[in-house]
Structure formats: structure tokens, C-alpha cells
Chains A and B, each alone.
Chain A
Amino acid sequence: MDPEILVENVLNAITAGITIGCIYGLMCIGLGLIFGIMRIVNFAQGELLMLGMFTSFYLVSEGRILAFLGPYWGPFIGAMCAAPAVFAGGAILHRFLISRVSGLRTVGSLDEGHFGQLVVTLGISLILQNGGQILFGSTPVAVRTPLSSQAFQIGPLYQGATVFLNKAKLVAFFVAILTAVILYVVLEYTRLGKALRAAADNPTAATYMGIDVDRAYRIAFGLGSGITAVAGGLMATYISFGPFVGFDYVIIMYSGVVLGGMGSIFGAFWGGVTVGFVQQFSALVLPPQLQNAAIFVVFLMIVLLRPQGLFGRSAERA
């Protein structure tokens, strides 16, 4: 590879890494709430992402309710609108299914209910994927915005190397940051946020303090679902997707959350950014089909090479 092409590719990988990474970061925050903080193993998180994409798609496509917003504003407002819709879906899932295998019911059980959670969320994942195929069809779709084919051109910077900033990704990047900041403020400074954190930290103690832990968990699960859905809606502006798209991302999300350290919202975000970077840089050396395989390898490396932070409570009292 010529040095100038190399420089250009690296610079572009960095910018793409930052923009896509932050969107991944938002996606990981959703799982960070559910898995990192509440310790619920949610296998269906990828499907929540998929639901976010389709919600946005069905809101803003031609002839739909939000079509009047136009192709510039619409897709991003649609992505934001996915949050309440999927929040409600997540809360309902939690109310009827997840709560039966998590939270207070499994405190103190041998594996903290993880077996049940894995199985139930695997079931949910199967239903949403295949049900999605029935409802949405299997042909890949995309949320169209002219922005996805436009780019800011920066440079030439160095030896003629030019950086292209995709406008859709750039706007998505800002929306992702905004959403993350709003969530942070809610969790850190509101009464609701405090109740959620208390319930997650020690459900039994929180109950004694008069917190409705079931409700807190339901809200937190809904928030986690909604946040990931926003990320899905944002990604829908620059990728095409079908009902099985969630699968490729569920591993990315777990990589990010684990990498960032369990139980930290910030950590999940940075974990997602890191994984985004790794993915963009792997694109420099790997053919497209192997990039997805690379993500799985990265996930395995993360869980294998950093076991200390990963076993959760492996230092159990004997």
C-alpha cells in the first residue's frame, strides 16, 4: 500500500471509529444498564436494537406518520422516537417474563438466576427474530436519508490524504452523545436515577428502604431497551438491516460492556467506542466477511484475557 493511501485509510478509520464507536457506545450503555448494573443476562438485546431500527423505519419511511419531517430531520427524530416505543416493549417483557427469572426472585440462588435468564431471553430472541421475519419480511431495508451519501471533506491534510466525514454518521454521532448525556443526568441527579441505582446495587436493602424494586427494575430494563433502540434507529440511517441483524451486534455489545468494566455506564460507553475502533481498524487489513469473525475473536480475547474483572462474583464466600 502506498504511504499516502495508508495515511488516508488510517485517518478515515480513526474518524469512522470515533463516530461509529460513539453510536456503539450508546448501544452498549443499554446493555450496560441491563447486564452491567442489574446483572441480567439478556440474550435478546440485539433484537431490541433491531426493533429500534424497524420502529424508526416504520415511522419515517415514505407515507408513514413521521414522513412529513423529511429525509434530513426525519430519520434522526425517528431514532429518538424508537426510545419510548421500545422502552414500553422492554418494560412489558420485563413485567411478564424477565422479572420471573431475575431480581429479588433469584437473589442468593446459586447462579443468580443466569441459567433461567439465558434460556428465557434466548426464547425472546428467537421469537423476535423469527416473528420479525413474519412481520417485516426478510428483505433488507434501510432508512433513507440523503445525508448517508454525503460527506464533509477535510483536507487534503498530509501528502494529499483526505478525510471524509459521512454526514449521516456525524449527525448520528451527535444524537448518540446527546442521548448518553441525557441518560447520565437522569441516572445521576434524579430521584428515579437514585432509586434505580440503589435497587441495582442491593435489591434486598433497597426493598427495606421502601423502594419498589420490581418497578425500578422494570424501568431500568425499559431504559436499557430504549437506549439500545435509539442506537439502532441511528444505525438504520447508514446500514441496511433485516430481522436477523441483532445477532451481529449482541456480541459487540457484550464485548463493550465487559471491556468497559461491569456496572459502569461510562465504562460501557468507552467499551463500545473501543470496539468500534477495533472494528474500523480491522477493516483496513481484513476482507469484509472476516470483519464480523474478527469481532467474535475480539470478544473471546476480552473475556479470556481479562478474567479478573469478568467473573463477576467469583470470589464467592466459601
Chain B
Amino acid sequence: MRQGAGPHLRRHLGVLAVVSLVYLLAALFVKNSYYQLIMTLVPVWALFGVSWNILSGYGGQLSFGHASFFGIGAYTVTLAMVYWGLTPLLGIPLGMLLGGLAAILIGLPTFRLRGHYFALSMLAYPLAILYVMQYLGFQEVSMPMYREHALLYMEFADPRAYTLIAVLLLIGGVVVSLVIENSRFGLALLAIRQNELAAEAAGINARLWKMRSLIVSGMLGALVGGFYARVLLVVTPESVFGMLVSAQAVVVTLFGGVASVWGPVIGAAILVPLAETLQAELGQYLPGIQGVVYGIAIIAVMLLSPDGLFWTVRDRLLRREAPHGVSEVTGAVPDAGARSDGWSLAPAPLPATARRSGPLLQVDRLSRSFGGLRAVSEVSFEIAEGEILGIIGPNGAGKTTLFNVLNGVLTADEGSARLDGQPMLGKKTYEVCRMGVGRTFQVVRSFPRLPVLDNVIVGAYGAGMSDRDAIARATQALRQVGLHGRATVAAGQLTNKQLRLMELARALAGNPRLLLLDETLAGLGREECDDVLAVLARLRAQGMTICIIEHTMHAMMRLADRFVVLDHGRVLATGLPRAVVEDDAVIEAYLGKKWLARREA
């Protein structure tokens, strides 16, 4: 649990308790059996939305096939009862187990895909299962009745009992979701959703967290499905594996508010009664009216408030009481350093092995091609401990590609790179990060929705720190770059310079031994540039080793100890800044032959 999440969590739980009690009280007075069913279906679909939200809302892995898990739960409970006489009390947990297993089997291949391919592939699973179920002859399976052991088999004479259970299950789901939201699990998912590459570069194993979220999500989905089968007493492939089932989860969550615990609850509370009532009143004239309503609902939400009702309403309210809200949040900044001057802090503790004589980074004959283009060609250089190495070169010289190869975003074709003697190549991006290589990007890759402090904490979590350490380290890193005053502001509100500094702090939070900075000064004005340079100079004074890509020659002259000049993927020159700048080959690459001729003339 993250620090400061306690009161936040308690408030949510309070709301949850009140809402559940009111809902159950209301359910007590519902006599009509059809409305009793709706009262049960609202928490059922809300919980299914919660399940979907964990994978697709927080994690951003849009799934159109959540019916796989729902159906697996439903069929497990039903078939176990038909063939083995197994009570749903055991059938539902069994279904959850199978749901989790299915999540692993589905996730292993499917997480290789991203974006819309992921969404479309997820769609294929429940439909494939649907046809297989038809083939196996499970066209329509009814649950047998066990009147003599009614309670054991969850057969309740009073339908309101199902409402009670549904609400209890939903409470369980919401609590799971809250715990995830307020832990490093949730932060990792949000980071992955907002920018997977940045999350990886900050040391987060995206694949692993996505898989975990799918497993949790799949188990919850199977739980709902199993219970749903028990309520309706009959399953058909279409009613549990069908497209409309998957769509329910997507629709209630998107409508209510994506990546919020309350989103699916709000969405289900509005849409399920609406659609069910319409279906009951108009269904005989307008069969399918439910689907039409859902369709209209999600199109409207997507166009009018793309994140759902919850966020739109919340943003409105927050804006109204903005002055109050901001001061309140600022007060909650955990003050780890307790010193007003961040610069007097000791530098991040370096590993004991760090002090040696050899080079920290050793790159040897590194090459990488894209088709016929050799973007990086036999590049060799070294960086000594505590040094600032500037990598310069014209556009397209292969500078960013070099960084991408070094930190595992791209693979190398040939050559080697060693950090303190340990090979770096062939590792995943997050593994390179954990070896002690921090990275910033040419185009800032922030997590715009998260507060600045959380953005930086992502880097500390990536290095595998405990919650307490991570917060302390992140706060310290913010001080190191001079951003501690803006810790609670959403990253999306920062200026370009502040974003650059925040990204730097995120890289620092992982206690790196080497920083790879990609055009940190790009797009900054003269004064802003000086500010960032001052921060970098102070980092060096604290013993940090930095490798920086830059265009702006005059800035680099002041900062770098040595230059490596790249052109067309090759090392053109290496050496002290003054010498490199005078080098004819370098001048030719930058300014062209004519210029060189004029100078010589």
C-alpha cells in the first residue's frame, strides 16, 4: 500500500458501505420478481465491469473478449453441477481457478500484441469457445434442482437473497480494485497504460504486470459468470460467451468512468435498469433494443466525455473548488528529506562496486540496421565513472537508435556493450534499467494523468524499492532537479522544462549509475536551457555519470567532458570538445564541404 493511500482508501470504503446498505434496503422493498432480478443484475454487471476495468481501464489493454472468462465461470458451475452434483459454493471457486488458468493461456500469446490487434484477438477467444461449446452439444444446459439441500446449492426461495450475495460479491470486487489502485500494482498498470515504453525504461516489467492484471481480471470475470449462471439457472453459449456479454463490461465501464473503481458501478446502476426496462416494455416490438441502447450509450460517451461520467463530473466539481482542493493536496506531500535545500543531500547511494578504475560503459563495434540502412555502424566508445559524454551529430546520425539499442528497446545486430563489465545487450528494457541505466526520451514520455510525484515513484518502483523507500527516493529525486514544489500537480500541467526535469527525476529515482539523456535540452529557451544545465552540472558534482545526446553545440561545450561525434551511424570523431569542434570531418558533416572549403581558403 502506498503511503498516503490510507485515508483515501478509508473514505472509499465508507462510501462503499453506505451505498451498499442503501441499495440493500431499497432491494428489501422490491416485490415484483422482474425488478428483483434487475436489482441482482445491476451488481452482477457492475462487478463484471470492475473485472474488465482492472485489465482494460487501469492497464489500458482493451479487451473485447471478456466473455471468455464470464462464460468459463458460467459453464464450469453449471456443468460441475450437472455431471458431478457439485454445489456452486465449490463450483464458483473452481470456475475462478479455471478463469485464472484461461487468463494465463490467453495472455501468454496475446500480450505479444498491442493496441487494436490485442483488442481484436481478445474478441476471437470467446467466439471460438462459443462454437466449440455448440459443437460439444452444450447448446442449452439447465441446472438441476436440489430441493432437499436448497441452501447448499444456493437455491433461495426469496430472490432478494441473490441480490444480497451479488452486492457482497461486488463489495469484494471493489475492495480488490481499490487495493490494486492504491498499490504499486495500480501505479504500474497506469504507467503502462499511459506510456508502455516509458514504463519499461523506468524498470517496470510491463508483460508481467499485464499478465497479473489479466489473471485477477479473469478470475473476477469467472466469479461473476458463475454466479450469473446460478441466478438464471440456464446457460447457452450465446448468453455467456456472446458478444453482448463482452460488450456489457465495456459499456458499463466506459459509460461510468474508465480506470475508476466507481465507473463500472455508476455505469451499471444507470444502464442496466434502463436497458432491462426497455427490453421488458418494448422487447416484443423492438427485439434488441437493449443492444441499441448500449450502442448509443458508448458512442455518446466516447464523443462527449471520453473518460466516462465519473471523471467528467469529478473534473467539473474539482474545477469549481479548485483553490481549496489544491492547497489540501499540497499539504499531503510526504516530506522525506526534511531539509529545505535539496542540493545538500548526499547523492543517491551507489552500489559498493561502483568505485573502480575501468570505464563504466564500454561499447564495442555496435551495429544495427533497418533493412538496408545501417543506422548504427560499428560504434565503439567508453564512458568513465563520473564523466559527462556528449554524443553529437546531425539529424539521422543514429544517436537515438544507439540509445535504443543500449537500453534494450531495439536489438543489436553485432557488437557488445558492457556496463561495469556486465553485458547489457540482449536484455529487456526494464532489465537494463535495473542494471543501473536511467533513460530519458527525445519526446518526453510522461504519465500525464498521474501527479508528478507518482510519475517519479514509478522509477523508484522500477528499481524494486519498498513503498516507503520509493516515496522517499522519489521526493529526494524531485529535490535534486528542483521540482519538489510541484510534486502533487498532474504531469500534464507542467511546462516543457519541468517535464524534462521530471523525466530526469524519474530516471534518477531508480538510483542509476549511468544516465542516458536524449536531447534533454530540445525545445528549451536560452534561460531554461541554463537551468537544466545547472541541474546536470550538480548531478555530475554528486558523482553521476551521464551520456547525453544533444544538438545545441554551445550548451554541450559547457557541459560535456568529451564528445563522440556520429554521422551516418559511424563514429566520426572522439575527444575533447575543443578538438572535436575544430575537426575538419566534423565541420563537413555539420556544415557541408563548401563551408570547409571557405574556411580553408
Contacts and interface: CB of A to CB of B under 8 A. Distances in A.
Interface of A: 41, 43, 97, 100-101, 110-111, 114-120, 122-134, 138, 243, 247, 251, 254, 258, 287, 289-290, 292-293, 296-297, 299-300, 303-304, 307, 310-312, 314-318
A101 B441 contact: no
Given A118-B64, A126-B291, A304 B306 contact: no
A300 B115 contact: no
B87 interface: no
Given A289-B135, A318-B441, A122 B117 contact: no
16 contacts: A41-B116, A101-B302, A114-B116, A115-B62, A116-B302, A120-B302, A122-B250, A126-B294, A128-B295, A134-B289, A247-B243, A293-B132, A296-B131, A304-B109, A307-B112, A315-B370
Interface in B105-132: 109-110, 112-117, 119-121, 123-125, 127-128, 131-132
B135 A123 contact: no
Contacts of A300: 109-110, 121, 124
Contacts of B64: 43, 118, 122
Contacts of A119: 250, 254, 298-299, 302
Contact of B292 (A126, A296, A312, A317): A126
Given A127-B291, A138-B287, 9 more contacts: A110-B195, A122-B298, A130-B295, A134-B289, A290-B132, A300-B124, A303-B121, A304-B109, A315-B370
B117 A289 contact: no
B220 to A, nearest CB: 22
B443 A123 contact: no
B403 interface: yes
Given A97-B303, A125-B295, A317-B442, A303 B117 contact: yes
A124 B295 contact: yes
B124 to A, nearest CB: 4
B362 interface: no
B135 A318 contact: no
Given A126-B292, A133-B287, A303 B113 contact: yes
Given A118-B119, A297-B128, A123 B113 contact: no
Contacts of B518: 318
Contact of B299 (A110, A111, A120, A247): A120
Contact of A311 (B117, B243, B297): B117
Contacts of B250: 119, 122
B124 A318 contact: no
B17 interface: no
A296 B132 CA distance: 11
Interface in B275-310: 286-292, 294-299, 302-303, 306
Closest A-B pairs by Cβ, 10 of them:
A130-B291, A130-B288, A126-B295, A127-B295, A133-B288, A123-B299, A289-B135, A296-B128, A293-B131, A296-B124
B120 A134 contact: no
A129 B383 CA distance: 62
B409 interface: yes
Contacts of A133: 287-288, 291
A129 B116 CA distance: 21
